[in-house]
Amino acid sequence: MRILLADDQPKVRFALRTLLERQPGLEVVGEARNGQDLCDQIEPTRPDLVLLDWELPGESAMDTLYTLRIMYPVLRVIALSGRSEARHAALRAGVDAFVSKSDPPEHLLAAIRDFERPREKAADEVSAAPAEVGRVVSPSSGRGGTRVRRD
């Protein structure tokens, strides 16, 4: 499984990379430090799963998640946060799972292993390429509706 890490803290990314690279069948294909960096790295790295810090700097994690869902609907996303109250908001926003940063590493690994089962479509079958989709304006941006602007 190909995993992209998205966290603004280098020490957290390092710890996650170290944990995941010791697991058979898991490969860390990239690291992002903010929402824009994450969206920019999706196409070249083609991950199966994103570990998304729910407090990632830049646009809100909810907006970033919305953009990812539009561009890559089969991409799995696990939200991570040191704030337990973020669990409800992240799950309501549509992440596939939530793991607290204070949970033991086994909880994160179990959540990842749950996603090793195939989905309806393989990630390679996704036809929406970033070049075809412009900036996504999400419902939470306050602009009164969901639009996709083509560049």
Structure tokens at 104: 């033991």
* Cβ(35)–Cβ(4) below 8 Å: no
pTM of the model: 0.76
Q: What does the alpha-carbon distance between residue 7 and residue 99 come to, in Å, rounded to a whole number? A: 14
Q: Where are the domains of the chain?
A: 2-125
Please give the CATH number for the structural domain made up of 2-125. 3.40.50.2300
pLDDT tens over the chain, length 151 residues = 999 999 999 999 999 999 999 999 999 999 999 989 999 999 999 999 999 999 988 888 899 999 999 989 999 999 999 998 899 999 999 999 999 999 999 999 999 999 876 654 444 444 333 332 222 333 343 333 333 333 3
Closest CA to 151 of 143, 142, 137: 137
Task: Quickly count: other Cβ atoms within 10 Å of residue 75's Cβ.
Answer: 20
